Amino acid sequence: MQLPIAVLVSGSGSNLQAIIDAAAADPSFGARIVTVISDRPDIRGLDRATAVGIPTRVVPWGEAPDRVAFTNAVCDAAEEAGATALVLAGFMRVLSKEAVDRFPNRILNIHPALIPSFPGAHGVREALEHGVKVTGVTVHFVDEHVDHGPIIAQTAVPVLAGDTEESLHARIQVEEHQLYPRVVKAFANGRLSVNGRTVIWEGETL
């Protein structure tokens, strides 16, 4: 039985593509994308979904009266498609706690920094501005705070001399595309559970 998931995107959808490719290549992947939801139309992420026959929905951010209404509309769209979990893949809107209430410990997010360092929308830029020598990628469960939920897995990425935001982000994305499908597979196969802020893996970890 495959876990039906909704993937949420706001841009190019490169992590979405990594999950699509991993699911297609691995019969034991355990998850099936039943819909891709975006907060805006005309993005590459929606095109990637359409190209492989995945239904898409747009829930426009600007049409919602507030964050709660937007969040409930996104959750409604996911549930209408049959999804029982949400996978945020470059989704640039902060969901309200109603999403966590409706999908408890069933929302994954990927962030281009080593949480708790540099949460928010500019993690790569802030890592460079602070002069860190190592940054990376974090996959975590979503809670009611921004980039704060229990950490599932992290991968370190060195900051090189002469790095720009674009060059560093490109190297981070290489790691994202490896890490996120592996975490989604583990989650879909029931290998992850949460005890407080601790994520428990069954069997071999990443």
Asked if the structure places residue 206 within a domain, the reply is no
In this predicted structure, what is the pLDDT of residue 117?
A: 95
At residue 146, the pLDDT reads 85
* pLDDT given for residue 155 in this prediction: 98
- Predicted local distance difference test score (pLDDT) of residue 203: 77
pLDDT of residue 91: 97
Closest-CA residue to 75 (of 63, 88, 62)? 88
Pick out the chain residues at pLDDT < 70: 204-206
How many domains is the chain partitioned into structurally?
1
Q: What is the CATH number of the domain that holds 79?
A: 3.40.50.170
Instruction: Check residue 206 and give its pLDDT.
Output: 61
Domain that holds residue 188: 3-201
Alpha-carbon span 76 to 138, nearest angstrom: 27
- Residues marked as catalytic: 111
E strand or H helix that includes residue 199: strand 198-201
Spatial neighbors of 81 by CB under 8 A, at least 6 apart, are: 4, 6, 34, 35, 55, 57
Instruction: Decide: residue 105, CB within 10 A, 0-12 exposed, 13-18 middle, 19+ buried.
Output: middle
Looking at the domain assignment, is residue 153 inside a domain? yes
Is 72 inside any structural domain? Answer: yes
Residue 52 lies in a domain: yes
Q: Is residue 162 part of a domain?
A: yes
